[in-house]
């Protein structure tokens, strides 16, 4: 069975500081994809970053980077230089097939001015 775990229900970070949101996963599939989505209060799920299980390098997208540690089965999201607009729910997701996605329970991030 596939499982995604986000252990931080809520996080606070000072504006302009970096923050790491944790995500661990459990799968027996040899290949899979890992994703992070941002959900602001409006409800829309915004795609942030993708990491393939066979990718050698950690994915980066602007201020977002994914700290992928395959042996530990972790895919933490690092947001650098936090902005007030980063306050939102963040969901980690995994897909072993490219079709069905499995989501974590989410982490609520609050950026403090």
Partner 1 sequence: GAVVSQHPSRVICKSGTSVKIECRSLDFQATTMFWYRQFPKQSLMLMATSNEGSKATYEQGVEKDKFLINHASLTLSTLTVTSAHPEDSSFYICSAQLQETQYFGPGTRLLVL
Residue identified by tokens 């072993």 is 96
Task: State yes or no: residue 105 binds partner 1 (CB under 8 A).
Answer: yes
Distance, CA of 33 to CA of 44 (rounded, Å)? 21
Binding of partner 1 by 99 (CB under 8 A): yes
Range in contact with partner 1 (rule: CB under 8 A) among 22-30, 33-41, 62-70, 72-80: 33-41
| Among 16-24, 40-48, 68-76, 80-88, the segment contacting partner 1 (CB under 8 A) | 40-48
The residue within the footprint of partner 1, chosen from 5, 11, 20, 50 (CB under 8 A), is 50
Binder to partner 1 among 15, 26, 29, 44 (CB under 8 A)? 44
Relative to beta strand 46-52, strand 60-61 is unpaired
**60 closest CA partner among 51, 69, 73:** 51
Euclidean distance between CA atoms 66 and 74, whole angstroms = 10
d(CA 16, CA 18): 7
The residues of the shown chain that bind partner 1, judged by CB under 8 A, are 33, 35, 37, 42-47, 50, 52, 91, 93, 95, 98-101, 103-106
């Amino acid at each position: 069975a596939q499982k995604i775990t986000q252990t931080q229900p809520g996080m606070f970070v000072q504006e302009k500081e970096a923050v790491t949101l944790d995500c661990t996963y459990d799968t027996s599939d040899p290949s899979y994809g890992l994703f992070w989505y941002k959900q602001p209060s409006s409800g829309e799920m915004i795609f942030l970053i993708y990491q393939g299980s066979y990718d050698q390098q950690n994915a980066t997208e602007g201020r977002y980077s994914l700290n992928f540690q395959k042996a530990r089965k972790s895919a933490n999201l690092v947001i650098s230089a936090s902005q007030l607009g980063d306050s939102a729910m963040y969901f980690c997701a995994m897909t072993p097939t490219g079709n069905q996605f499995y989501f974590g329970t989410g982490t609520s991030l609050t950026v403090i001015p």
